[in-house]
Structure 1
Amino acid sequence: MDSSDDKKRMNVEDDDRLSSLQDELIHKILSFIGIKHAIQTSVLSSRWRFIWTSMPYLNFSWDDFYELPKFSEFVTRVLSGRNNQTEVSSVKLSNFRGKDSDVIVEQIMKYAFSHNIQQLNVACLPQNNVEFPPFLFSSRSLKHLSLTKENFSAFQRRHSSSYVFKAKSTWELPVLTTLYLYGVTLCCDDNTDKCIGFFSKCANLKNLTLKSCYTEGFKGLSICLPLLSNLTIEDVYGSVEDYNIVAPELKNLNMSGVFTQDHQYLISAPALVSLLYKGFYDLSLSTDDFSSLEKADICVSYPRDARKALRLLQQLHNVKFLTLNLEIVEVIGGVYLMHLTMIFSL
């Protein structure tokens, strides 16, 4: 037997070894590629012919197609060809663009939510606005939700209308544990000064990230969640000036971006372990003592009020490890130097 025959025999053995895996393991392997490529494996053998029909993972990407009608036809064939008794564990929709894609998105999501979807990741290009159906925000099975803008520049973060959600549309996701919003617009129907609680009915939420988001029509954002453990607020622009954060289980709080001098933070987080703040202006906190705080990293690019800086230090007096940028130290040092000068001049 020559070397070419040996290679063929080894390839067959490797194929058989992979084919002998349980369906669940094969599904997991195929989850790392798009559903289009997963379906192409059906030509390998009779063992692989219908494997894709029971996959709980659906990964759709616009990049796999050149024209919207072909993509729409493919989605219809996939959803109608699946084993209807198989639940949908996760759905990933990437690189969606164009106004007509809304219909396809809703078609996929309606199918997924009717099959008890647990994880949803949607990413679209900056120029596209996707209007999501109301049932997205009243799911009883969804545990992880990620909505992002892809290739989102700093200019687009400020000027793109991005995804738009109305405050009147209550987010009632009782089992949701992770929420990641990047490039999302949160807005209220009418101008109001009241504090809006978009996530108040997400009682099991543990991880919340608001990144490069835009707020419109309300001045206060309320984040009152009993199980929240990790909270990140980064580059949030727009109308919001006051943050009301009530989270008894919060461990890690990261805040960074172009916050104005008018921003106020009312924080009740007795279990807080780590605090990171990075902004242009002084951090103004209204809070109980952080008795459990171990690490605080405060960076203010343009500190203007020495009294605010000193008050912040008083509020962080229990911290074990404190990092301050040089500008804050210079402002505080200037105050002490002034006091010493006044004492010696008397």
Structure 2
Amino acid sequence: MQLLPQIFCRALAMALMAKDIDRLSALSDEILCHHILTKLPLKEAIASSLLSSRWRWLWTRLPRLNFSSEFCVSLRNKAKISSIMKKLILINPGELESFELHINEHYTQSDTKTLVSFRKMSACISYAALRNVKQLTLITLNRRIRSMPSSVFSCHRLTSLILNNLHAKCNPTHFGGFPCLKICSFRSVDLCDAIVEHLVVGSPLLENLTVSGCVGIINFIVCCPFLNDLSIEIGRKENDLFHSTNLDYVPNIVKLSCPQLLNLKVERISSWEDKSMLIKKMVVEINLPACRGLSTNLVCVKDALDSFPSLEDLSMDAH
């Protein structure tokens, strides 16, 4: 699979040097950017600019931007990374389908400073918001970079939001939710009740919600009219960013009122054994008249089975 980008670039070079008509370059910019370059790793897509003058700036029109950890570390040049990000986000006036930024745990301190010096994550997300970004993914496994930029809340056209290992307690007073959001995933995120409440209430089209290993939630309340799938994993994994803190992983109340919910998963994370008694004391209030599938290993959910009148598929390993 790693050879495909190299083979593809060689094929492009051969086509350009051939005496016959270059049918590939004869394709429209939209096809080249949206269906060919966007399927390559970002570094290889940028390298295509060397093929000819026709290809020089095509990479700046990519509709999907994936700044993988490997890409950022491979450049190791703050000015070059900054220049590439500005060109990718600012030059193209078209709408942005997706923006992904991955920061892994193997960054050295100098690598981390390179990324942080952008301000950069926040500025780039602000620019992405101006381009009506639809899908936003922020993942970090590095303890030095954990704060979620407040600019995330300005991405009003989001249909998908994925956050992993971040502090997300910044909740602007003007934030009213994401009116187009359909998919939302929080994994090992430091949240608060206000963010969850505003997110759910302000995202009326939300269909799929995942909350796994998150901390800081006291009352987990989800009242969402169109939600189809809900996954809640209570507890923590041994390698998450909050495992050494005293933050609470167990909400006092879990209240679910979702008239169209079809599948519910409520489980304790298997690698987490602390506070099991608190989970038993957790208050569960459920109103899910259409729910057909339930997966749980919690006794407190088992006691609420009468709240599932349409249940067809039950998977339970209660402790």
Measured against aligned partners, the alpha-carbon deviations of 1:51-95 in whole angstroms (never above 9, x if no partner) come to 112211112134234499724542334424653422222111112
Other-structure match for 2:189 = 184
- Aligned with residue 121 of structure 1, among 126, 133, 137: 137
Write the distance in 2 (CA, Å) between the matches of 1:188 and 1:286: 23
- Aligned with residue 263 of structure 2, among 248, 252, 261: 252
Write the distance in 2 (CA, Å) between the matches of 1:104 and 1:15: 43
Q: Which moved more, 1:19-28 or 1:114-123?
A: 19-28
Q: Which moved more, 1:259-268 or 1:26-35?
A: 26-35
Change (3 A) 1:129 1:262: farther
Write the distance in 1 (CA, Å) between the matches of 2:11 and 2:204: 56
- Segments of 5+ residues of structure 2 without an aligned counterpart are 1-9, 237-248, 270-275
Write the distance in 2 (CA, Å) between the matches of 1:142 and 1:120: 7
Contact persistence 2:220–2:251 (CA under 8 A)? yes
Measured against aligned partners, the alpha-carbon deviations of 1:188-209 in whole angstroms (never above 9, x if no partner) come to 69xxxxx956522111111000
Other-structure match for 1:148 = 164
* Runs of 4+ in structure 1 over 6 Å off: 7-10
Other-structure match for 1:60 = 67
Write the distance in 1 (CA, Å) between the matches of 2:84 and 2:192: 36
Contact persistence 1:145–1:178 (CA under 8 A)? yes
Contact persistence 1:264–1:286 (CA under 8 A)? no
- Segments of 5+ residues of structure 1 without an aligned counterpart are 1-6, 150-161, 190-194, 302-346
Write the distance in 1 (CA, Å) between the matches of 2:22 and 2:306: 63
What is the aligned-residue identity percentage?
27
Other-structure match for 2:294 = 275
Other-structure match for 2:123 = 107
Q: Post-superposition shift, 1:167?
A: 5.9
State the structure with more CA Rg.
1
Write the distance in 2 (CA, Å) between the matches of 1:215 and 1:9: 52
Secondary structure, counterpart of 1:215 in structure 2 = coil
Q: Taking structure 2 as the reference length, what is the TM-score of the superposition?
A: 0.74
Change (3 A) 1:99 1:296: farther
Contact persistence 2:177–2:199 (CA under 8 A)? no
Secondary structure, counterpart of 2:83 in structure 1 = helix
Change (3 A) 1:148 1:15: farther
Measured against aligned partners, the alpha-carbon deviations of 1:149-177 in whole angstroms (never above 9, x if no partner) come to 4xxxxxxxxxxxx4232467646111111
- Aligned with residue 25 of structure 2, among 19, 23, 32: 19
Question: More relative contact order in 1 or in 2 (CA 8 Å, sep 6+)?
Answer: 2
Q: Higher strand proportion, which one? A: 1
- Aligned with residue 242 of structure 1, among 224, 238, 253: 253
